[in-house]
Chains A and B, each alone.
Chain A
């Protein structure tokens, strides 16, 4: 158990819908990262927050957004969903910005 909790574990939704994925980092970790794992793109960095502020952005679509709350949990919002958004979404956390990251078990999103 990494200490990073992601909910839900599985999500099935229809095209055009909006979903929210939630991540609770390890106790004391200030940095949260979101990654997308798909068969064709592999593991791609989406976005990072550190202590409530956005710190780095990767290949994140404009339809996707994220935030980190004062209690340090984070949410990834995916809207206007397309079939191609079906993937495993991982959250990871680390104590500071450039220290070892621990991954959650992921949320498997299926868009039908």
Chain B
């Protein structure tokens, strides 16, 4: 079945460092890809999305490009802030079933130190 694999955390960075969180997927069909963020004690918020190959999603300085050839959707940010500390989830939508249900990776905890 469809699946998402994220790099293990936690990731600890200093403020203004470059961030990459790797995400690869396995899917039949052509899923949409998402990054969600979960701040402590809160629900999931959609960070960015891409719906087809070579699309780039971007929001709040974060970017990710849908790479069909490498089945990847890596999250990047050029300069992280302490306020970016959170858990980041990569997810894909069930394209073949046309339901919109999401399959999530295991989440990567990011800790940014001042």
Residues on A facing B (Cβ under 8 Å): 2, 4, 31, 33, 35, 42-43, 45, 48, 55-56, 58, 90, 92, 94, 96-106
The reply to whether B46 and A100 contact each other, CB–CB distance below 8 Å, is yes
- Shortest distance between the CB of A30 and any CB in chain B (Å): 11
**In which size bucket is the chain B interface?**
20 to 34
The reply to whether B101 and A90 form a contact with Cβ atoms under 8 Å apart is no
Residues of B within 8 A of A96 (CB): 100
Closest to B97 in A: A56
A88 to chain B, nearest CB (A): 9
Known A98-B100, A100-B46; further 20 A-B contacts with Cβ < 8 A: A2-B43, A2-B45, A33-B100, A33-B102, A35-B102, A42-B106, A43-B107, A45-B102, A45-B103, A48-B100, A56-B101, A90-B44, A94-B100, A98-B98, A98-B99, A102-B46, A103-B36, A103-B44, A103-B45, A105-B43
* B101: contacting residue among A42, A48, A100, A104, CB under 8 A: A48
A98 x B93 contact (CB < 8 A): yes
Q: Would you call B89 an interface residue if the criterion is a C-beta within 8 Å of the partner chain's C-beta atoms?
A: yes
A-B contact count (CB 8 A): 57
Chain A hits for B98, CB < 8 A? 97-98
B88 at the interface (CB under 8 A from A): no
- Of A33, A94, A96, A103, most buried by chain B (CB within 10 Å of CB) is A103
A-B contact pairs, 10 of them (CB 8 A): A33-B100, A43-B107, A45-B101, A45-B102, A48-B99, A48-B100, A90-B44, A92-B102, A98-B98, A102-B46
